[in-house]
A and B are shown apart, each in its own frame.
Chain A
Amino acid sequence: DQQVKQNSPSLSVQEGRISILNCDYTNSMFDYFLWYKKYPAEGPTFLISISSIKDKNEDGRFTVFLNKSAKHLSLHIVPSQPGDSAVYFCAASAASGTYKYIFGTGTRLKVLA
């Protein structure tokens, strides 16, 4: 049972345009969400987070939107740069105090110069 789903395995975007990565979840107890970026042969690095009390969080070129009724979140990258080419994972956790994050399967973003 995949509680966190990233249905697009890959995405290609032209440099300078917007990249939109999507994530769906099934567990209504999830209340904190993270996005990670991963380059080959490296560990995932934290990008941006959002709490369920918000519907938007912005950090520079990265914005995360949360739609609780649809159990859907998205990561927007504007403008996209070639260095953004990586695998992006979304992760979710419930307010259990243990930070047991459940990860999606990832979306490989390729930004074309």
Chain B
Amino acid sequence: NAGVTQTPKFRILKIGQSMTLQCAQDMNHNYMYWYRQDPGMGLKLIYYSVGAGITDKGEVPNGYNVSRSTTEDFPLRLELAAPSQTSVYFCASVTNTGELFFGEGSRLTVL
């Protein structure tokens, strides 16, 4: 089924560890996004990309990095994990009609 695939679904990290959240879409969408959702909060935009090779910061980019080498993939890297990065992370792409199409999320806990 066409869609946005995120891996891993769950991960526990120790403070200071690094990891990459993977996101892939097979809908040939140019625009891709990373959001995080904290309990009781809305989704906050971390980084976004309007096409391969182009990325830009969103509302809460500190502590994260992204790359976009292909249209399909948009990985999110955490270099030095901190407890404040405990959250649920959602990757999304924009459809032809301008709506965000989300993946199922990746739940990250930093201890």
Binding site for B on A (CB under 8 A): 4, 6, 9, 32, 34, 36, 41-46, 49, 89, 91, 97-106
Contact = CB atoms under 8 A, between A and B. Distances in A.
Leading 3 A-B pairs by shortest Cβ distance: A43-B102, A103-B42, A103-B43
Interface string B23-53: 0000000010101000011111100101000
Given A42-B104, A44-B90, A100-B58, A34 B43 contact: no
A32 B100 CA distance: 12
Pick the most buried of A36, A43, A46, A89: most chain B CB atoms within 10 A of its CB: A43
Interface string B56-92: 1011000000000000000000000000000000101
Contacts of A45: 102
Contacts of B59: 102
B90 A99 contact: no
B42 to A, nearest CB: 4
A106 B42 contact: yes
Given A4-B42, A41-B105, 16 more contacts: A9-B40, A43-B92, A43-B104, A44-B43, A44-B90, A46-B101, A49-B97, A49-B98, A89-B43, A91-B43, A99-B33, A99-B94, A99-B98, A104-B42, A105-B42, A106-B42
A11 to B, nearest CB: 15
Contacts of A103: 35, 42-44
A10 B31 CA distance: 32
27 contacts: A4-B42, A6-B42, A9-B40, A34-B99, A36-B100, A41-B105, A42-B104, A42-B105, A43-B90, A44-B43, A44-B90, A49-B97, A49-B99, A89-B42, A91-B43, A97-B50, A98-B31, A98-B56, A99-B98, A100-B58, A101-B45, A101-B100, A103-B35, A103-B42, A103-B44, A105-B41, A105-B42
